[in-house]
A and B are shown apart, each in its own frame.
Chain A
Amino acid sequence: MRDLFRGELVRLTTEEPDAYAKMEVQWQKDTEFHSLMDGDPATVVSEKKLKEWFEKRNESSLKPGRHAFSIRALAEDKLIGFFGLWVDLIHSEAWVGIGIGEREFWNKGYGTDAMKLCLQYAFTELNVHRVSLGLMDYNPRALRSYEKAGFRLEGRTRGDVQRAGKHHDSLWMGILHEEWLQMQNREKQ
């Protein structure tokens, strides 16, 4: 059985609420990062409030269908980001949201490596039928990374997000279990 939580560049783990809160306080200062991650307006939240929020999330991740992970770079075990999986149990579909908050780790394959682990977890542990995600059209780096991971572009909702005086599309992507399996087989050869 393969190691679900260890990749080539990163490992998946979990943090205490106060560790998450501390990282989030730093990452929320980077509004470019926020814009790439989230269609909601950027804001500033106190460390105290963030800690409460992460404590609450800890409780709800014991419910079926919710899985949150932190991402640590193997070198120095540095906490660089996080991802969450939310599963629709009836239709066996998982939604993923991923973010690498530490800029020095952008464009170096860390995100792609984390996504690989994420898909492996989703398809071989959660046994979902498909994994979905959304991103903004002004995030070409993420689009390339997700395409490399095997996601296919399924469409775009036009003018969905308004930012910096312009309307942008939200891109919708999905990967099916059988597509992921085919990719795994091709990679073995």
Chain B
Amino acid sequence: MKDIYNGELVRLSAMNAEEISKAFARWGRDSEFRRLLDSGVSQLASSKGAQTWLEKELEEQSINQHWFSIRKLDDDKLLGDIDLYVYNWPGRDAFVGLGIGEREFWGRGYGTDVMKVILRYAFTEVNLKRVTLTVFEYNPRAIRSYEKAGFRHEGRIRQVLNKEGKRWDILVMGILRNEWMEHYGYKTAN
């Protein structure tokens, strides 16, 4: 059986509520990170409240949600989190949300690597038919990364974001199971 947690630079790991809530609080103070990730208003939050909320969310995951922390393979450093949420079982489609909180790891291939790993998980462990994501028009680094991972542009929700006095679109991107299998010439275990 193939390994499904490990990429080339990172691995999927468990969400440790205490560790992650502290990290969320730290990363949340980086307003650029917040604005790239979240359409809501940037605000500061404490880690204690976040921990209780996180513990509850993690317990209620069931088969609908697959939420992982992202760690570097070489030194186990926590880089961020990635969440696969199956919002539609008849269509077998899930939203993926990725956040790399550690700035020094932006633009170095880590995002693309973890996205590849989560797609393999989505298509060969949860057996989905497609994966969808939304990304902000003003985040070209992420858009490029997702294109490299195999996502295609499917549409835009126009002028829904309002930042720095300008209106921006949210882009919708998607990848299909057969596109992914073809793209990676996917070979199954023995």
Where the two chains meet, the residues of A that have a C-beta atom closer than 8 Å to any C-beta of B are 64-65, 89-92, 126-127
Contacts and interface: CB of A to CB of B under 8 A. Distances in A.
Q: Nearest 10 pairs between A and B by C-beta?
A: A64-B89, A89-B89, A90-B127, A89-B63, A90-B63, A90-B126, A92-B127, A91-B127, A127-B90, A65-B89
Contacts of B127: 90-92
A91 B63 CA distance: 12
Contacts of A127: 90
Contacts of A64: 89
A177 to B, nearest CB: 14
Interface in B119-170: 126-127
Interface of B: 63, 89-90, 126-127
Nearest to A91: B127
A61 B190 CA distance: 39
Please report whether the interface of chain A is mostly helix, strand, loop or mixed according to DSSP.
loop
A127 B88 CA distance: 14
Nearest to A125: B90
A89 B63 CA distance: 8
User: In this complex, which of A89, A92, A127 has the most chain B Cβ atoms within 10 angstroms of its Cβ?
Assistant: A89
A22 B183 CA distance: 57
B31 to A, nearest CB: 38
A177 B53 CA distance: 42
Nearest to A129: B127
B156 to A, nearest CB: 30
11 contacts: A64-B89, A65-B89, A89-B63, A89-B89, A90-B63, A90-B126, A90-B127, A91-B127, A92-B127, A126-B90, A127-B90
A65 B89 CA distance: 9
Nearest to B125: A90
Contacts of A92: 127
Nearest to B90: A127
Nearest to B128: A90
Given A65-B89, A89-B63, A90-B126, 8 more contacts: A64-B89, A89-B89, A90-B63, A90-B127, A91-B127, A92-B127, A126-B90, A127-B90
Contacts of B63: 89-90
Contacts of A91: 127
A152 B58 CA distance: 41
A126 B127 CA distance: 15
A127 B127 CA distance: 14
A126 B91 CA distance: 10
A132 to B, nearest CB: 17
A52 B47 CA distance: 42
Contacts of B90: 126-127
A34 to B, nearest CB: 32
